[in-house]
Structure formats: structure tokens, C-alpha cells
Amino acid sequence: MKIGFIGLGNMGAPMAANLMKAGHAVTGFDLVADMPDGVAKAESAAAAAEGQEVVITMLPNGAILRAVADEVLPGMAAGSVLLDCSTVDVDSARAVAEQAEAKGVLALDAPVSGGIGGAAAGTLTFMVGGKDAAFAIAAPLFDIMGQKAVHCGASGAGQAAKICNNMILGATMAVTCEAFALADKLGLDRGKMFDVVSTSSGYSWSMNAYCPAPGVGPQSPADNDYKPGFAAELMLKDLRLSQQAAEAVDADTPMGQRATELYDAFVTHENGQGLDFSALLPRFAAKGRD
Ligand code: NAD
């Protein structure tokens, strides 16, 4: 397939590289990031998208997605697919899908889970909103970039699933970090803590696959000075999306709300900006009770 790829950051670059390695012709555009080997560099988002069968976006937020959609849709042919894999608000996903469909372009919201490790290994999970016809065209690409793609429903359903997943992730990472800091103060070795919890009922993706303690468990951003990975500000973005969504539909989400407050304080007032979201561990370790 001829694929345009816009937004080749921590996630987009390895996803594009996997598509290229699988034999697809990938043309990329990013405001800052370099192209992975083998991905042709376009001079603009519009140039990367023009005449492509599928245009994939992997961008920071809904406002940027809307701006990029304005830029790329005029050059996309009817029947081609705009496949957004970013995490954005449900309204932006639906607005972009409507705008695309008005000119005969098929649109999918297909945010991912699995982090940079999953992006590099081609083992992401895609949660997808949009029409069956669009899902059928994108399915072979999901197979290359991921291990699973769930068609969740109409436009916006993928983002709804992602927002709920990441509310669980934010709260789980926060409690995993505070548990390590508590274990430190109780004199419990971090390696023993990992051995127990990773095989006990406290296990989770945050503990088992992305352990926030350096030198413990699998390689993770904790082993790289908490360089992202998944940046704390992106976690905060997703948690805020969860709270906006909860507000809109009158859902009670106290754990999500507390996690949002923690990441807000960390990013806004505690130098967490630019660090991985697992860097809450040194933050808790350095603090006493409020
Ligand atoms: P990132 O900041 O590393 O990458 C985003 C890229 O978009 C950057 O390289 C940036 O230069 C580029 N960009 C911004 N505006 C642009 C524009 N107008 N035109 C072209 N390029 C533009 O972020 P990331 O970690 O790759 O995350 C991307 C998306 O994936 C986010 O929505 C995030 O929430 C989601 N996500 C990230 C992870 C993770 O672990 N990093 C996991 C799941 C989902």
C-alpha cells in the first residue's frame, strides 16, 4: 500500500518503520523528528498525504489532529483512509471523521496501547472506531503494527476505550509508585517487592511490563533516567480527557480524578515535564505524607 505517515515521534517512528519493513511504501512528515531509515521524507503534511491509499496520523492532541486534517484532506482521494492513531478527545475524533466523510474519505480513530516497546515490536493493541469498510482496509496494517485490533463501534468509540484504559493505567502507575516508596520506608528490598507483586494479586502492566523502579524487572524508562517512554504530560493529557469525558456524561471517577491531580501537580509544579510517567516513584520516594 502507499502510506502517508504524519507524526513520527516516540510512537510514530517505530510504527512507520514496521510498515516499511513489511514492504509498504511509506512517506512521512514530522515538524521536528527525523525519518526512520527507508521512510521517504515529505516537506509538509499535505505532501506526505497526497495521493496515498492510507494516511496515518500519530500526533500529540486533538487540536493538532484537527489542524493536520484540514491540511491533508484536500489532497486525499475518495475511498482512501485517514487512520488516526493518536490519543485525542472523542469530539475531535468525531469531528475529523465527519469532515473526512463529507469528501468521501473513510476515517478511523484507532488509538493504541502498548507503549514504545509495543510500537517497536509490532505488538500494539488498536481500539478502533469507524465504519466496517474502513476497518477492513486498515486491518492488514493493524496486523503489522499490532497484535490485536478491536473494532469498538462507530467514530469516537476507539477514543472512548482508550480514555478508559489510560484512566486505569494512570491510577495503577500512581499506586505502584507509591507502593514502592512505601516498601522502601518499610525496609523492603525493591527486587523482592517486584518478585512478590509481579506474581501476586497486585500485578499489573505498570508493575510487570513497565516497572517504575530502576534495575528491577524488565528494561523500562526507569532504567534510562526516566527518559520517556510515555511522557508524564501525555499521561496528564489522557487523564484530563477521562475527567472531561466523565463530566460530560455524569460518571463518578474518584480514582481517575485523584490520579489527574497527582500528575497535574507533578507536571505543573514538580519538574515532571519531560520525564516518563513512571517518574512518580522518585517523587514519592523523596516525599513524606502531606
Ligand atoms: P511524541 O511527542 O514523541 O510524537 C509526536 C510527534 O508529532 C512529534 O515528533 C512532533 O514533532 C509531531 N508533530 C506535532 N505537531 C505536528 C504537525 N502539525 N505536523 C507533523 N508532526 C507534528 O509523542 P508520542 O509519544 O509518539 O505520542 C503520540 C500519540 O500517541 C499521543 O497522542 C499519545 O498520547 C499517544 N500514545 C503514546 C504512547 C507512548 O507510550 N508514548 C502510548 C500510547 C499512545
- Does ligand 1 lie within 6 Å of residue 127's CB atom? no
Whether ipTM tops 0.90, in short, is: yes
- Does ligand 1 lie within 6 Å of residue 158's CB atom? no
Nearest to 113 by CA among 86, 75, 95: 86
- The pLDDT, as a whole number, for residue 269 is 97
pTM for this model (two decimals): 0.92
Other C-beta atoms closer than 10 Å to the C-beta of 83 total 27
CA triplet 24, 88, 141: central angle to 5 degrees? 20
Label residue 204 by pLDDT band (50, 70, 90). Answer: very high
- Does ligand 1 lie within 6 Å of residue 102's CB atom? no
- The pLDDT, as a whole number, for residue 206 is 97
- On average, the pLDDT of the chain sits at 97
- Helices 157-185 and 254-269: crossing angle in degrees, nearest 10, is 70
- Does ligand 1 lie within 6 Å of residue 116's CB atom? yes
Residue 251 has pLDDT above 90, yes or no: yes
Q: How far is the CA of 219 from the centre of ligand 1 (A)?
A: 22
Label residue 256 by pLDDT band (50, 70, 90). Answer: very high
Tell how many helices (H) and how many strands (E) occur in the chain: 12, 9
Beta-bridged to residue 28, according to DSSP, are: 5, 41
* Protein residue whose Cα sits closest to atom 42 of ligand 1: 115
- Does ligand 1 lie within 6 Å of residue 43's CB atom? no
Instruction: Tell me the per-residue pLDDT of 89-119, one tens digit each, with 9 for 90 and over.
Output: 999 999 999 999 999 999 999 999 998 899 9
- The pLDDT, as a whole number, for residue 42 is 98
Residue in 5, 6, 8, 11 to alter for ligand 1 test, most ligand atoms within 8 A of Cβ: 11
Residue 253 phi/psi, 5° resolution? -135, 65
- The pLDDT, as a whole number, for residue 290 is 78
- State mean pLDDT over 28-49: 97
Beta-bridged to residue 27, according to DSSP, are: 4, 40
Q: Is the bond preceding 229 in cis, omega lying within 30 degrees of 0? A: yes
What count of residues does the chain have?
290
Atom of ligand 1 nearest to the CA of 12: 26
Other C-beta atoms closer than 10 Å to the C-beta of 6 total 30
> In which residue are the cell numbers 510512537 written?
11
Q: How far is the CA of 180 from the centre of ligand 1 (A)?
A: 29
Instruction: Tell me the per-residue pLDDT of 151-169, one tens digit each, with 9 for 90 and over.
Output: 999 999 999 999 999 999 9
- The pLDDT, as a whole number, for residue 111 is 98
Listed in sequence order, the DSSP H helices in 25-156 are 45-49, 62-72, 90-102, 115-121, 132-145
Other C-beta atoms closer than 10 Å to the C-beta of 239 total 28
Instruction: Tell me the per-residue pLDDT of 60-86, one tens digit each, with 9 for 90 and over.
Output: 999 999 999 999 999 999 999 999 999
- State mean pLDDT over 184-210: 98
For residues 45 and 29, is the Cβ–Cβ distance under 8 A? yes
Beta-bridged to residue 26, according to DSSP, are: 3
- Does ligand 1 lie within 6 Å of residue 5's CB atom? no
- State mean pLDDT over 207-228: 97
β-strands 124-130, 106-109 pairing = antiparallel
2 classed as catalytic: no
Residue 162 phi/psi, 5° resolution? -65, -45
C-alpha distances out from residue 261 to 237, 238, 265, Å: 12, 12, 6
Other C-beta atoms closer than 10 Å to the C-beta of 252 total 7
- The pLDDT, as a whole number, for residue 194 is 98
Amino acid type, 156: G
Residue 36 has pLDDT above 90, yes or no: yes
- The pLDDT, as a whole number, for residue 164 is 97
Please give the share of the chain, as a percent, with pLDDT higher than 70: 100
Label residue 17 by pLDDT band (50, 70, 90). Answer: very high
- The pLDDT, as a whole number, for residue 136 is 98
Alpha carbons 230 and 234: distance in angstroms, whole number: 7
Q: Which of 162, 185, 227, 237 is catalytic?
A: 162
- State mean pLDDT over 10-29: 97
